[in-house]
A and B are shown apart, each in its own frame.
Chain A
Amino acid sequence: MKPGMLSNFLKRGAIWGFIALELIFFTVAGEYLSLSEKAFMDVDNMLLLFKQSAPIGIIAMGMTIIMINGNIDLSVGAIYAICAIVLLDSMTWPIFAGLGDMVIPVAWVLALLAGVALGALNGLIVWKTGVDAFIVTLGSMLGYRGLVFMYNGEQPTSHLNWTLVDFAEAQFLGLHTATWFLLIVTAAIWFLMNRTVHGRNAYAIGDNREAAVNAGIRVGPHMMINFMIIGFLAALSAVVFYSESGSVNPNDGELYELWVITAVVLGGTKLTGGAGSIISTFGGVLAIQLLRKGLAHIGADTETVNLVIGLILIVVLFLDRQLNIKGKEELKV
C-alpha cells in the first residue's frame, strides 16, 4: 500500500462511514429514547428522508461546482425565495388566465429563467469586476432578499394548484417526485463535472488558477456558467418544493446557503477549490438530513440539532486538516 492511500481512502469514504454510524446510533438510541413506537430505519421514514433532502440537496450540487471552481455563492437562499414567488404568482397573472393547467409549465419556465438570470448577474459581476465571490454574493443575498420583501411586504404569497400538488406528491417506483429530481440533478451534475471539458476546466481553475490562465483557459466565462447553473438549481429546488406547499413566506430560504455549504463541506469539497466530489456532496446532504431527523426522533429540539451539526462540522474540518498536513519540514505560518 502506497503512503497516503489510507488517508485518501479515509477521506473519500468518510462521509459514508459517518452515515452508517448515524444510522446505527439513531436505531439503537431510538429504541430507548424515542417517543414513537416506529423504528428509525423504517422504509417510509427513509423515503421521507430522501424527499426532505431534496431542496437543500439540489442546491448543494450547484454549490459543489461553484466551490470546486474556487468561488462561493451566499445568495442561493434569496434566489430560492424569489423563484418561489415567481412560480406561485405567475400562475395567477391575468395574461395566463386562458391556459388552464397549461399555466404550470409556463410558471416553471419563468421561475427557472428567473434563477438563471439572477445567477448570471452574480457571475457577471464576479467576472467583470474581479471582486471576490464571497463579497459579491453577500451583497446579492441582501439585495435579492430585499426584492422578495418589496414584492409582497411581509405577506406570504400563496397559490395552490391541485394538479401541481398531485404531481409533486406522486410516487414513481416508490420514490417521491422531489427525490427523483434530486437523483436526476445529482447524475447530471456528476456527468457535467466528470465528463465535459467545462467541468474539468472548472476543476483546473479552482486548483491552480494561474496555471489555468497560462494554459489559455478563459476563467471568467466558466465562472459565469457555474453561477448560472447554481441559479438554475436554486430555482429548480424552489419549483420542486413550492409545487407542493403552494405558499411562500418572504423569509423562506433564509440560512439555506449555510446548510448547503455545510453539506458540501461535510462531503469533502475543499473551501479553496480544486477538489470535491458530487457523490460525496450527496452523502453530505443525506448525513445532515439524517442528523436532523434522527435527533428529532430521539426527542432533541431544533436548538440542539443546530449545536450538534455545528460541532460536527468543526470536528470534520479539523480532521481533514490533520489528514492533509504534509511532512514536518513544512514552513510554519
Chain B
Amino acid sequence: MTGQTPALRLEGIVKTFPGVRALDGVSFEVMPGEVHALMGENGAGKSTLMKVLGGIYQPDEGQIIVGEQPVVMRSPLEAKAKGIVFIHQELSLAEELTVAENIYLGELPRKRFGLVDWAKLEEQTNAILSTLKVGFDAKTRVGDLSIANQQMVEIARALTVDAKAVIFDEPTASLTDAEKVVLFDVITDLQSRGVGIIYISHRMEEIFKITDRISVLRDGQYRGTLQTAETNEEDVTQLMIGRALDLSRNESHHELGEVALEVRGLSCGHLFRDVSFEVRSGEVVGFYGLVGAGRTEIAETLFGLRDPSAGQILLSGQEVRIHSPADAIAKGISLVPEDRKGQGLVLGMNCRDNMTLPQVDDLKAGPFVAEGAEVSIFDQYRDRLDIRTPGWKQLVGNLSGGNQQKIVIGKWLSMHPSVLIVDEPTRGIDVGSKSEIHNLIRDLAAQGYAVIVISSEMPEVLHVSDRIVAMYNGRIMRTFTSEEVTEDNLIQAISGLGGDRAA
C-alpha cells in the first residue's frame, strides 16, 4: 500500500470536553479500497472520533485530510459533500415517507418549478436497491419496514453520492445473517470502486472476515494498527483493554441467603429472548454486554416498565406479575436507573425531597407532609451512605455525581427493597467516587440485599460481582463465577463468540 495516497487521513486529532480529554492525538489513515476496522471498548473515543469525522464536532487540534487536501467540516452536509458518508447506528429516517424519499432526503431530484421528478427518483432508487438485493421497492413506506430493512435504507444512502470514504458504525447490529452477506457484498463492491471504508464493530468474527487492518483506541488514545491477516483475537483484545486497568476480581463472598429473585425464560418481543437467571440475597450479579444487548430492557421489565411477552418472574419463590413501577416497589424491587439526572432525580428539588419522593404519600401528619419524618429519613441515609452535602436543603443539582448517585440509592433503600437493580452505577462519576460506589454496592450485598449491577465497564463488573452474566444480542451467552471469569472469555462471550452456552 506504499506510494498510494490515503483516501482519508487524520493527524493528531484532539478533542476535549470539560474535564475529559475524549480524544488525545489520534492519527490514522484509510487507503482507497481498504476496509479499516476501528475498535475499542465503550467509551474509548470511537464515536467521538466519528463525530469529528462526520462534521458534528470540531476538533480542538489536528487535521483531517481528504485525498491530499486538508479540510474543515462544519456540518454533516459538508462532510457528505467532501465525499465522507456516515452510516449511523441509530436510524435517522422519516418513517412516514417512502424509501426513495428517505434515501434522497434533502436532495430530491427536481423538475421545473420545484416539482419532484418522481420517475427519476424511483429509477435511481430502484437501481440502488437492486444492488442491495432487498425485498422492497422505492415506494414502500419506511415505517412499514423491519428495523433491519430500515438499516438497509440507511446503508443505501451511502450509495447515492460518489463517496471517498464511508464510515459504518455497527451496521450489523440489527441485521440477520442473510442481510449481513448482502452488506458485505456491498462493502466489497465499494472497495473495488476504490472507496476507503471505516468499519466500527465489536464483533470479532466480522472484523476478521472483512477488514484489512485494525486500529485500536483506548481511553481516547491511539493504540496502534494491526494487519488483520497477521494478528488474532487475543492480540486485538489485549490492545483494546490494555494492562493498566485495574481488573482485579471480587474475592470476598458473603453468606448467601435464599433465592430472592428468579427469572425463567423471560422474553420481551425482539428486545431479549429466553432469559433465565437467579439472584440470591447477599449476592451481586453483574450483567455485562454491549450497548443494545438487552440488559437495561431486562431491568425495565423487572421494574414493571415493560410487559414481558413470555416467561416468569419469581420473588422468593412466588410467581409474580409486575404491572407498574408502583407494583414493583410494593413487591420490593427497586431500580437505580441508567440516566441518573433524567430518570433518577428531580434536579431542582432538594436532597430530602428527592430521597423521600417515592413514599411522600405515606409521610403525612394529618393533611400535611410530615417534614420531621422526612428529615429523619434523610439523616439516617445520609449517615449510612456517607452522603456529603451541607444539609438537606441543598438542591441535588449542585451535588457531585457520586453524591447524587448515593441520593438515588438512598431513596430506594428507604423503601426497604429486597432486590436492588443498579444500571450503570458509575457513569459520569470520577474515579475516586467510583470505588466508593463499588464498596457501597458490596456493603449492601453484605447486608442481605440481592443486587443486580448492569454495567458496560469491564473493571466495574469484575470488581463488584459474585457472578457475571454475559449478554449478547438479547440472549444470555454464559454465566461466569468470579473465579472462572477472565477478560478474554468475557469479551468473547459478549461478542457472540464461542463461549460454551450455559443452560
Question: Could you list which residues of chain A lie within 8 angstroms of chain B, going by C-beta atoms?
Answer: 2, 4, 195-198, 200-201, 203-204, 207-208, 210-212, 214-217, 274-275, 327-332
B378 to chain A, nearest CB (A): 28
Write out the residue numbers on chain A whose beta carbons fall within 8 Å of the beta carbon of B105: 204, 211-212, 215, 217
Query: Given A274-B96, A331-B300, is A200 in contact with B324 using a C-beta cutoff of 8 Å?
Result: no
User: Does B76 make an interface contact (CB < 8 A)?
Assistant: yes
Q: 6 closest pairs, A vs B, by CB?
A: A215-B106, A329-B269, A207-B94, A215-B105, A216-B77, A211-B92
Name A215's contact: one of B107, B110, B116 (CB within 8 Å): B107
Name A195's contact: one of B97, B116, B144 (CB within 8 Å): B116
Query: Given A4-B144, A329-B306, A329-B309, is A200 in contact with B96 using a C-beta cutoff of 8 Å?
Result: no
A203→B324 contact, CB < 8 A:
no
Counting chain A CB atoms within 10 Å of each CB, the highest count among B75, B114, B309 belongs to B114
B344 to chain A, nearest CB (A): 15
With A and B bound together, what is the CA distance between A300 and B115 in angstroms? 48
User: Does B268 make an interface contact (CB < 8 A)?
Assistant: yes
Question: Can you add 19 more A-B contacts, CB < 8 Å, to A197-B114, A208-B95, A211-B92?
Answer: A195-B116, A198-B114, A200-B108, A203-B94, A203-B101, A204-B101, A204-B105, A207-B95, A211-B102, A215-B77, A215-B105, A216-B76, A216-B77, A216-B106, A217-B106, A330-B306, A331-B300, A332-B304, A332-B306
Name A332's contact: one of B144, B269, B324 (CB within 8 Å): B324
Write out the residue numbers on chain A whose beta carbons fall within 8 Å of the beta carbon of B300: 331
B97→A204 contact, CB < 8 A:
yes
A-B contact pairs, 19 of them (CB 8 A): A195-B115, A196-B113, A197-B115, A200-B101, A203-B101, A204-B97, A204-B106, A210-B92, A211-B105, A212-B105, A215-B77, A215-B107, A216-B80, A274-B96, A275-B96, A329-B307, A331-B306, A332-B304, A332-B305
A202 to chain B, nearest CB (A): 11
A205 to chain B, nearest CB (A): 9
With A and B bound together, what is the CA distance between A195 and B96 in angstroms? 16
B307→A328 contact, CB < 8 A:
yes
Query: Given A214-B92, A274-B95, is A197 in contact with B108 using a C-beta cutoff of 8 Å?
Result: yes
With A and B bound together, what is the CA distance between A208 and B105 in angstroms? 11
Write out the residue numbers on chain A whose beta carbons fall within 8 Å of the beta carbon of B92: 208, 210-211, 214
A200→B97 contact, CB < 8 A:
yes
Q: How big is the B interface, by class?
A: 20 to 34
A1 to chain B, nearest CB (A): 13
State which residues 300-317 of B face A: CB under 8 Å. 300, 304-309
With A and B bound together, what is the CA distance between A217 and B94 in angstroms? 13
With A and B bound together, what is the CA distance between A118 and B304 in angstroms? 50
User: Does B271 make an interface contact (CB < 8 A)?
Assistant: yes
Write out the residue numbers on chain A whose beta carbons fall within 8 Å of the beta carbon of B93: 208, 211
B364 to chain A, nearest CB (A): 28
Name B115's contact: one of A196, A207, A329 (CB within 8 Å): A196
B267 to chain A, nearest CB (A): 9
Write out the residue numbers on chain B whose beta carbons fall within 8 Å of the beta carbon of A275: 96
A203→B97 contact, CB < 8 A:
yes
Query: Which residue in chain B gives the minimum CB-CB distance to A270?
Result: B96
Write out the residue numbers on chain B whose beta carbons fall within 8 Å of the beta carbon of A332: 304-307, 324
With A and B bound together, what is the CA distance between A4 and B204 in angstroms? 38
Write out the residue numbers on chain B whose beta carbons fall within 8 Å of the beta carbon of A328: 269, 307, 309
With A and B bound together, what is the CA distance between A216 and B108 in angstroms? 11
Query: Given A215-B105, A329-B309, A331-B305, is A197 in contact with B97 using a C-beta cutoff of 8 Å?
Result: no
Query: Which residue in chain B gives the minimum CB-CB distance to A329?
Result: B269
Query: Given A207-B97, A211-B92, A212-B105, is A197 in contact with B309 using a C-beta cutoff of 8 Å?
Result: no
State which residues 258-312 of B face A: CB under 8 Å. 268-271, 300, 304-309
With A and B bound together, what is the CA distance between A179 and B105 in angstroms? 36
With A and B bound together, what is the CA distance between A275 and B143 in angstroms? 11
Write out the residue numbers on chain A whose beta carbons fall within 8 Å of the beta carbon of B76: 214, 216
Write out the residue numbers on chain A whose beta carbons fall within 8 Å of the beta carbon of B75: 216
Query: Which residue in chain B gives the minimum CB-CB distance to A333?
Result: B305
Write out the residue numbers on chain A whose beta carbons fall within 8 Å of the beta carbon of B308: 329
A29 to chain B, nearest CB (A): 38
B146 to chain A, nearest CB (A): 12
Query: Which residue in chain B gives the minimum CB-CB distance to A198?
Result: B114
Query: Which residue in chain A gives the minimum CB-CB distance to B323?
Result: A332
With A and B bound together, what is the CA distance between A216 and B116 in angstroms? 17
Write out the residue numbers on chain A whose beta carbons fall within 8 Å of the beta carbon of B94: 203-204, 207-208, 211-212, 274
Write out the residue numbers on chain A whose beta carbons fall within 8 Å of the beta carbon of B269: 327-329
A329→B271 contact, CB < 8 A:
yes
With A and B bound together, what is the CA distance between A94 and B96 in angstroms? 53
With A and B bound together, what is the CA distance between A4 and B304 in angstroms? 27
B135 to chain A, nearest CB (A): 13
